[in-house]
């Protein structure tokens, strides 16, 4: 599985308008709801429920909010970059600017874990994070992910 199988420019927002954690979660789940036809509140609830267990801020300025819900038939992803760092209760205590939202049904648990792992591997690389942060269009963001996956 490649992240680019899940990611399309119409599911990327650069920059995100939100300036706080609840706003980022709402903006990304709304974007995903618009593209999938799922209920935005259902998606948001699934993500907030998971976030209540432990922050999905994985460090290095990256957060991977995710959740499971029957509101979608398959694993879905939306991404965004904020203009300024957002406090996100990340594991390293640092604010986040890069966000990868994943939502899927229980039946996609295996794909869900693989996607989380792929994201974590990509963003460990400083050059990839810098390319994603520098993206000024959704197309440039997707291209940076595709280039990173090709290496």
Contact 104, 72 (CB under 8 A): yes
Q: What angle do CA 141, 22, 78 make, to 5 degrees?
A: 25
- Among the residues of the chain, which ranges form H helices? 21-36, 40-53, 109-123, 126-134, 138-150
Contact 7, 115 (CB under 8 A): no
Q: Which of 8, 45, 66, 112 is catalytic?
A: 66
- Tokens, residue 91: 């594991």
C-alpha span between 30 and 37 (Å, rounded): 10
- Tokens, residue 86: 């957002």
Peptide bond into 130 cis (omega under 30): no
Q: Length of the chain, please?
A: 151
Residue 112 annotated as catalytic:
no
Catalytic residues: 66
């Amino acid at each position: 599985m490649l992240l680019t199988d899940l990611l399309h420019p119409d599911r990327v927002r650069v920059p995100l308008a939100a300036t706080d954690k609840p706003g980022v979660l709402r903006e990304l789940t709304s974007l995903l709801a618009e593209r999938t036809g799922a209920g935005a509140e259902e998606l948001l609830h699934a993500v907030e429920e998971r976030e209540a267990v432990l922050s999905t801020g994985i460090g290095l300025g990256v957060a991977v909010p995710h959740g499971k819900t029957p509101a979608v038939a398959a694993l879905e992803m939306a991404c965004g970059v904020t203009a300024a760092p957002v406090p996100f209760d990340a594991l390293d205590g640092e604010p986040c600017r890069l966000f990868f939202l994943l939502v899927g049904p229980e039946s996609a648990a295996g794909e869900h874990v693989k996607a989380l792992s792929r994201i974590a591997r990509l963003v460990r690389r400083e050059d990839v994070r810098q390319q994603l942060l520098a993206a000024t269009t959704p197309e440039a963001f997707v291209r940076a992910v595709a280039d990173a996956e090709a290496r």
